[in-house]
Amino acid sequence: MSDNYSVVAEGLCKRYGDKTALDGFDLAVRRGTVMGLLGPNGAGKTTTVRILTTLIRPDGGRAEVGGHDVVREPRAVRRRIGLTGQHPAVDEILTARQNLRMFGRLFHLGKEQARQRTEELLDRFSLREAADKQVKGFSGGMRRRLDLAASMILAPEVLFLDEPTTGLDPRGRSEVWQSVRQLTAAGTTVLLTTHYLDEADQLSDHIAVVDQGRKIIEDTPAGLKRAVGGDRVEVVLEDAADLPLAAGAVARVAHGVAPQTDEERLRVHAPVREGVAALTEVARTLQEAGTRVADLGLRRPTLDEVFLRLTGGAAETESTSETETTETETETETETETTEEKTTEEKESVA
């Protein structure tokens, strides 16, 4: 297995009674990158994380984390990983500093080493000001950051984040995102499972979409969006009389299909290959003809559209990003209870 990859899974299978949770799942996560695992409820994301963190064994296939086999060398794997989820494992009564020192000791660091590591992590996760305050007064985002810090006590090579921002408000989410970005900048490999499409988009270098126990596609966030149809040029006019002219201008740059004209909204749009060049060309034609334009832009598909197209189901949560480019809004509810319980169990077993 290549040294360039921190996580490799080949043909993983897992059944629970007559239910197939994983059905030949493959994954390879390059060292120092973030892989987002995205999929509908029951797709097999948590099962994958549980196998890779040695909490359960696969029925078939194999996996290595940090260069060690998850079944044959579980201890070596555990020494190289951190796991954090929706329920902070930190103690409410203790302060941030006391919590981190306690985790250091639990992970068998010497007293002085635990102290040093605690101070580093307080800085790294912007918790210094709150260091001597009891956790029970912390916001959700601060708790999750402290939890991330605790999972980094041993500076793991690979960090598993199982829905790290579920239940947080937008501010808390962005605080956690910032911490995750700092971790990856420092070289940690991250496997992130999330229900939030915008979270996968923001944090991941690559996204693997999982459905029915298999990976159905993997690409960069931009690549996934391109796969669903790429960019479109859109012109909105002031005057309906200019619609034919605008349709002609858009037709010259359109890729594959004829432009669509929406007479009611005075809008013409078409998919294009070279987005920026096409936009410039349309702008020039319209300007030379003296056309009055209300709006002209490049529209990109959102990850919601990608997800819907690929899994044929509903995206599980509302997406809050990319409102400028979203044309169809997807709003469904998050189901968190079962995974919350699982994550607590997992954390305890890993600790």
Contact 30, 5 (CB under 8 A): yes
**Only segment of 13-21, 168-176, 233-241, 267-275 that touches ligand ATP (CB under 6 A):** 13-21
**Edge-to-edge strands, sheet with 206-211:** 81-84, 158-162, 189-194, 34-38, 206-211, 214-219
Q: Which stretch binds ligand ATP (CB under 6 A): 34-42, 140-148, 201-209, 230-238?
A: 34-42
CB of 196 to ligand ATP, least distance (A): 11
Q: Where does the chain have alpha helices with state H?
A: 45-52, 74-79, 96-106, 111-124, 140-151, 170-185, 197-203, 221-227, 243-253, 275-288, 303-311, 337-350
Residue 42 near ligand ATP by CB under 6 A: yes
CB 44 within 8 A of CB 212: yes
Q: Cβ of residue 92: shortest distance to ligand ATP, in angstroms?
A: 26
Nearest approach, Cβ of residue 58 and ligand ATP (Å): 12
Select the residue interacting with ligand ATP from 6, 47, 84, 311 (CB under 6 A): 47
189 binds ligand ATP (CB under 6 A): no
Q: Which is nearer to ligand ATP, 45 or 267 (CB)?
A: 45
Locus of tokens 């970005």:
181
Residues contacting 27, CB < 8 A, separation 6+: 7, 8, 9, 35, 37, 48, 208, 215, 218
Residue 232 interacting with ligand ATP (CB under 6 A): no
* Footprint (CB under 6 A) of ligand ATP, residues 281-340: 339
Comparing CB distances to ligand ATP, the nearer of 113 and 330 is 330
Between 45 and 347, name the residue whose CB sits nearer to ligand ATP: 45
Is 19 near ligand ATP (CB under 6 A)? yes
Residue 14 Cβ vs ligand ATP, minimum distance, rounded to whole Å: 8
Residues 6+ apart with CB under 8 A from 31: 3, 4, 5, 6, 187, 189
> Taking contact as CB under 6 A, which single stretch among the options 39-47, 95-103, 104-112, 283-291 is the one that binds ligand ATP?
39-47
Smaller CB separation from ligand ATP, 43 or 100 = 43
Total of chain residues touching ligand ATP, rule CB under 6 A: 12
Which H/E stretch holds residue 62? strand 60-65
CB of residue 222 to ligand ATP, shortest distance in Å: 24
Give the residue, chosen from 6, 28, 44, 101, that forms a contact with ligand ATP under the rule CB under 6 A: 44
Sole binder of ligand ATP in the list 6, 33, 46, 302 (CB under 6 A): 46
Measure the CA dihedral 336/314/30/67, to 10°: 50
Hey, CA dihedral for 251, 253, 254, 259, is it positive or negative?
negative
| DSSP label at residue 195 | S
**Cα within 13 Å of Cα(330), Cβ side:** 23
Among the listed residues 36, 39, 271, 301, the single contact to ligand ATP using CB under 6 A? 39
- Cα 45 to Cα 35, 158, 164: the distances in Å are 12, 17, 14
Query: Between 19 and 108, whose beta carbon lies closer to ligand ATP?
Result: 19
Taking CB under 6 A as the rule, does residue 43 contact ligand ATP? yes
Contact assessment for residue 29 and residue 49, using Cβ atoms and an 8 Å cutoff: no
At 283, list the tokens.
Answer: 């702008």
CB of 49 to ligand ATP, least distance (A): 8
Give yes or no for residue 63 binding ligand ATP (CB under 6 A). Answer: no
* 16 makes contact with ligand ATP (CB under 6 A): yes
The two beta strands, 34-38 and 189-194, are parallel
Residues near ligand ATP (CB under 6 A) are 16, 19, 21, 39, 41-47, 339
